[in-house]
């Protein structure tokens, strides 16, 4: 049950009567909930954006290393310089072994898939934030709907749940089997 405060009505004071009209604090509670949700969306967008960027960098770094090491190994094996063939061969062997290692661990960490999942979540958070902003801009505080805010909050929770479930699925499906 919400607390009810009393306030002198403007119309009553103008008419000279002293009637008191009760006003609900529901409006301020709804505004507080909307403000909380907006702040949480901003934090989520920042958090997911940072994780997206980190996963993007890691995925790109591993891919660039694999391409670079493969290319250098191929070049070293193709060089025909007398006296250096064994050295070039050994370096190429180390590089190709490293590529094999990176190829094996890449699916385990699956940075690319996590990058895509975080990109989608960020997009959904932005979309939800835009919808909340549009609703707040077009609605007077006294006309705000508890149901609408609860729906937006549930969608916020659903985005997090989907992202968490996706992460867990990636972790469970990408285990090394010995």
> Per residue, what are the HEC states of 91-149?
HHHHHHHHHHHHHHHHHHHCHHHHHHHHHHHHHHHHHHHHHHHHHHHCCCHHHCCHHHH
Q: Could you give the CA distance from residue 144 to residue 147 in angstroms, rounded to a whole number? A: 9
Q: Which of 49, 96, 48 is nearest to 76 (CA)?
A: 96
Mean pLDDT by 10 residues, the chain (178 residues): 33 36 65 95 97 96 96 93 90 96 90 94 97 94 93 97 89 59
Which pLDDT score, from 0 to 100, does residue 109 have?
Answer: 87
Which pLDDT score, from 0 to 100, does residue 118 have?
Answer: 96
- φ, ψ for residue 18 (rounded to 5)? -115, 35
Q: Could you give the CA distance from residue 81 to residue 76 in angstroms, rounded to a whole number? A: 10
What is the longest distance spanned by two Cα atoms in the chain? 109
């Amino acid at each position: 049950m919400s607390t009810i405060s009393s306030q002198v009505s403007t119309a009553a004071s103008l008419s000279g009567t002293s009637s008191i009209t009760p006003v609900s604090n529901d409006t301020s509670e709804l505004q507080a909930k909307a403000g909380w949700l907006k702040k949480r969306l901003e934090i989520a967008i920042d958090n997911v954006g940072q994780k997206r960027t980190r996963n993007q960098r890691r995925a790109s770094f591993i891919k660039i290393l694999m391409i670079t090491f493969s290319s250098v190994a191929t070049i070293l094996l193709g060089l025909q310089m007398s006296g250096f063939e064994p050295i070039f061969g050994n370096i190429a062997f180390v590089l190709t072994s490293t590529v094999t290692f990176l190829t094996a661990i890449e699916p385990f960490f699956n940075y690319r898939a996590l990058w895509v999942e975080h990109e989608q979540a960020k997009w959904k958070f932005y979309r939800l934030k835009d919808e909340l902003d549009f609703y707040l801009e077009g609605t007077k505080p006294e006309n705000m709907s508890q149901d609408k805010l609860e729906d937006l909050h549930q969608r916020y929770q659903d985005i997090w749940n989907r992202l968490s479930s996706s992460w867990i699925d990636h972790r469970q499906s990408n285990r090394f089997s010995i």
